[in-house]
Amino acid sequence: MTGDLHVEDWTKLAAAVDEAVRRAAADEIMPRFRKLARHEVSEKSGPQDLVTVADQLAEERLTEELRALLPGSEVVGEEAVSADAGVLDALHASAPVWIVDPVDGTRQFVHGDPGFSTLVTLAHQGQLLASWTYAPATGSMAVALRGAGAQLDGRPLRSGSPAAGAPLSVATSHPDFTSAVEKRAFARLAVDGVAPRPCGSAGLEYLYVAQGKLDAVAFGWENAWDHAAGLLLVAEAGGTSGTVAGEPFRIGGGNALPFTAARDAATARRILDLLTTG
């Protein structure tokens, strides 16, 4: 494990976070899966941007428990930011920060689709140190520790490289959350040798890249809670990422978009070249 943040026992902390995530999902998310009442679902910015009581209660639970696990730390959660954008300032402060997406893929969750995840990342001064990607509907947990690799349910994850000659499978920002300019950029991926499709839960798409089941993702938004866990997971599985400006993705924002995360450097270059052509 590298980084300036001193933690006495990273293994112990990782296990405690794993347990906290599983408990929050078991207590606040899964009891409401396919059982949501109408009043438990509401819109944020529009009909595609949903929030449920499960999102809110799971984030509240994780915020309390994560702060207790690392005294002096802050939490940047999707729902807290929705209520107060000033919460994002913690990403630029000196204290360690937990980045939380309690239900990544809320629309899938609302519709009874098991393709959603719970994402937690620990960062310090812009550096991603550890991440947890949990799929509550299946019970699978992927963990990445900076400099120590990535695992899925205790087994090492390696992204590998795409098979020679096979079309590159790429998950892109969903059209419902994509501007006209971004749609034009993603349309450039529709060429021979590339097979783009709209993404589901960003956290799960990153996991598929780390597993080698998906060759790349390409996104046009930079919310830290959607990307932090997956970017570290892919990197520790041997993959890479980058923006159209040829720079690393900054979790604090201000990135040139779109950006990609891919199984290997050659795939990332191919995707970025296409996104910047035309």
115-119: long-range pairs with CB below 8 Å, 24+: 115/200, 115/201, 115/204, 116/201, 116/204, 117/201, 117/203, 117/204, 117/207, 118/21, 118/24, 118/25, 118/29, 118/58, 118/203, 119/203, 119/225, 119/226, 119/228, 119/229, 119/230
Using a pLDDT cut of 70, give the percent of the chain over it.
Answer: 97
> Does residue 228 lie in a domain region?
yes
Quickly tell me which residue has 């059982």 as its tokens.
Answer: 35
Q: Domain total for the chain?
A: 2
- One domain, residues 186 and 122: no
- One domain, residues 152 and 256: no
Of the pLDDT bands very low, low, confident and very high (cuts 50, 70, 90), residue 216 is very high
pLDDT given for residue 69 in this prediction = 97
Of the pLDDT bands very low, low, confident and very high (cuts 50, 70, 90), residue 268 is very high
Decide which of 156, 178, 193 is a domain's last residue. Answer: 156
- One domain, residues 146 and 67: yes
- One domain, residues 81 and 102: yes
- One domain, residues 183 and 226: yes
> Does residue 216 lie in a domain region?
yes
- One domain, residues 18 and 117: yes
pLDDT given for residue 177 in this prediction = 75
> Does residue 206 lie in a domain region?
yes
In the predicted model, what is the mean pLDDT of residues 59-74? Answer: 97
Q: 182 or 64: which carries more pLDDT confidence?
A: 64
| Dist. CA 187–CA 201, nearest whole Å | 20
pLDDT digits (tens, 9 = 90+) for 230-266: 999 999 999 999 999 999 999 999 999 999 999 999 9
Positive or negative: CA dihedral 119, 124, 125, 127: negative
- One domain, residues 23 and 103: yes
Domain of 25 in residue numbering reads as 10-156
- One domain, residues 90 and 183: no
pLDDT given for residue 174 in this prediction = 85
pLDDT given for residue 3 in this prediction = 59
The average confidence (pLDDT) of the chain is 94
- One domain, residues 250 and 119: no
- One domain, residues 152 and 18: yes
In the predicted model, what is the mean pLDDT of residues 62-80? Answer: 97
Q: Which of 179, 66, 193, 191 is nearest to 119 (CA)?
A: 66
| Dist. CA 141–CA 151, nearest whole Å | 8
- One domain, residues 149 and 247: no
> Does residue 229 lie in a domain region?
yes
How many other CB atoms are found less than 10 A from the CB of residue 32? 20
> How far, CA to CA in Å, does 14 sit from each of 113, 210, 268?
28, 19, 29
CATH of the domain at 205: 3.40.190.80
Does the bond joining 248 to the residue before it have cis omega, within 30 degrees of 0? no
| Dist. CA 160–CA 209, nearest whole Å | 9
Q: Roughly how many angstroms between the first and final C-alpha of the chain, as a whole number?
A: 41
Decide which of 109, 130, 156 is a domain's last residue. Answer: 156
Quickly tell me which residue has 């009909």 as its tokens.
Answer: 47
Q: Tokens at residue 214, please?
A: 């998906």
Decide which of 135, 156, 177 is a domain's last residue. Answer: 156
* Percent of the chain as helix, strand, coil, to the nearest 5: 40, 25, 35
CATH of the domain at 110: 3.30.540.10
Residue 5: pLDDT over 90: no
> Does residue 162 lie in a domain region?
no
Positive or negative: CA dihedral 226, 228, 233, 239: positive
DSSP annotation of 146 reads: T
- One domain, residues 54 and 181: no
| Dist. CA 178–CA 155, nearest whole Å | 35
